[in-house]
Chains A and B, each alone.
Chain A
Amino acid sequence: MADLKLTDVGKTYGGKVEVLKNINLDIKTGELIVFVGPSGCGKSTLLRMIAGLEKITGGTLEIDGQVVNDVPPSERGIAMVFQSYALYPHMTVYDNMSFALKIAKKSKEEIDEGVQRAARILQLDQLLDRLPKELSGGQRQRVAIGRAIVRDPKVYLFDEPLSNLDAALRVATRIEIAQLKEAMPNSTMIYVTHDQVEAMTLADKIVVLANKGIAQVGSPLELYETPDNEFVAQFIGSPSMNLLAGEITGPGDETQVTLKGGGMATSAIPTQTADKGRDVNVGIRPEDFTVLEGEGAAIYEGKVDYLEALGEVTLLYFEADSGANPVIAKLPGIHGDLRGRTVKLTADPARVHMFSNGNSMRG
Chain B
Amino acid sequence: MHPALQAVLTVGIGVSSAIAYFYLANMFLDKVLFPPRGANAGRNINRANMIRPWVFLFPALFALCLYLAYPVVETIRLSLTDRVPGGYEWAGAENYVALTKDPKFWEALRNNFFWLLVVPGLSTAFGLIIAQLTDRLSWGNIAKSIIFMPMAISFVGASVIFKLVYDYRPAGEEQIGILNAAYLALGGSEPQAWLTIPGLNSFLLMIVLIWIQTGFAMVILSAALRGIPEETIEAAIVDGANPFQIFFKIKVPQIMPTIMVVWTTITIVVLKIFDIVFAMTNGQWGTQVLANYMYDKLFRANDWGMGSAAAMVIMLLVLPILVWNVRQARKEMR
Contacts and interface: CB of A to CB of B under 8 A. Distances in A.
Interface of A: 51-53, 72-75, 78-80, 82-91, 99-100, 103-104, 147, 151
B236 A99 contact: yes
B54 to A, nearest CB: 37
Nearest to A101: B239
Interface in B234-279: 234-241, 245, 249-250, 253-254, 256
Contact of B231 (A75, A82, A90, A104): A82
B6 to A, nearest CB: 57
A99 B229 CA distance: 17
Nearest to B253: A90
30 contacts: A51-B238, A52-B237, A52-B238, A72-B237, A74-B237, A74-B239, A79-B238, A80-B234, A80-B235, A80-B238, A83-B231, A84-B231, A85-B231, A86-B229, A86-B235, A87-B235, A88-B236, A88-B253, A89-B254, A90-B253, A90-B256, A91-B253, A99-B239, A99-B241, A99-B249, A100-B239, A103-B241, A103-B245, A147-B235, A151-B239
Interface in B205-256: 229, 231-232, 234-241, 245, 249-250, 253-254, 256
Nearest to A84: B231
A53 B237 contact: yes
B238 A88 contact: no
Interface of A, helix, strand, loop or mixed by DSSP: loop
Contact of B250 (A75, A88, A147, A151): A88
A78 B238 CA distance: 8
Given A90-B256, A103-B245, A73 B238 contact: yes
Residue in B234, B235, B245, B254 whose Cβ sees the most chain A Cβ within 10 Å: B235
Interface of B, helix, strand, loop or mixed by DSSP: helix
Interface string B75-110: 000000000000000000000000000000000000
B199 to A, nearest CB: 39
Contacts of B254: 88-90
Interface residues on B, range: 10 to 19
A103 B241 CA distance: 6
A164 to B, nearest CB: 12
A84 B241 contact: no
Given A72-B237, A86-B232, A88-B250, 9 more contacts: A53-B237, A53-B238, A74-B237, A74-B241, A82-B231, A88-B232, A90-B253, A90-B254, A103-B241
B240 A100 contact: yes
A86 B239 contact: no
B232 A89 contact: yes
Given A90-B253, A90-B254, A90-B256, A103 B232 contact: no
Contacts of A53: 234, 237-238
Residue in B231, B237, B238, B239 whose Cβ sees the most chain A Cβ within 10 Å: B238
A103 B238 contact: no
A89 B237 CA distance: 16
Contacts of A100: 238-240
Contacts of A75: 240
B155 to A, nearest CB: 36
A104 B232 contact: no
A103 B235 contact: no
B113 to A, nearest CB: 31
Contacts of B229: 84, 86
Contacts of A51: 238
B234 A103 contact: no
Nearest to B232: A86
A34 to B, nearest CB: 20
A84 B228 CA distance: 13
Contacts of A72: 237
Nearest to B228: A89
Given A89-B254, A90-B254, A74 B240 contact: yes
Contacts of B245: 103
B256 A86 contact: no
A87 B235 CA distance: 8
Given A87-B232, A88-B250, A73 B256 contact: no
- Listed from nearest, the 10 A-B pairs whose CB atoms lie closest are A74-B240, A86-B231, A100-B239, A90-B253, A86-B235, A82-B231, A103-B240, A73-B238, A86-B232, A80-B238
Residue in A52, A74, A79 whose Cβ sees the most chain B Cβ within 10 Å: A74
A146 to B, nearest CB: 13
A91 B245 CA distance: 14
B235 A88 contact: yes
Contacts of A99: 236, 239, 241, 249
B234 A86 contact: yes
A255 B254 CA distance: 66
Contacts of A80: 234-235, 238
A70 to B, nearest CB: 15
Contacts of B241: 74, 99, 103
A51 B240 CA distance: 12
A11 B232 CA distance: 24
A113 B135 CA distance: 39
B39 to A, nearest CB: 51
Contacts of A74: 237-241
Contacts of A87: 232, 235
A82 B254 CA distance: 18
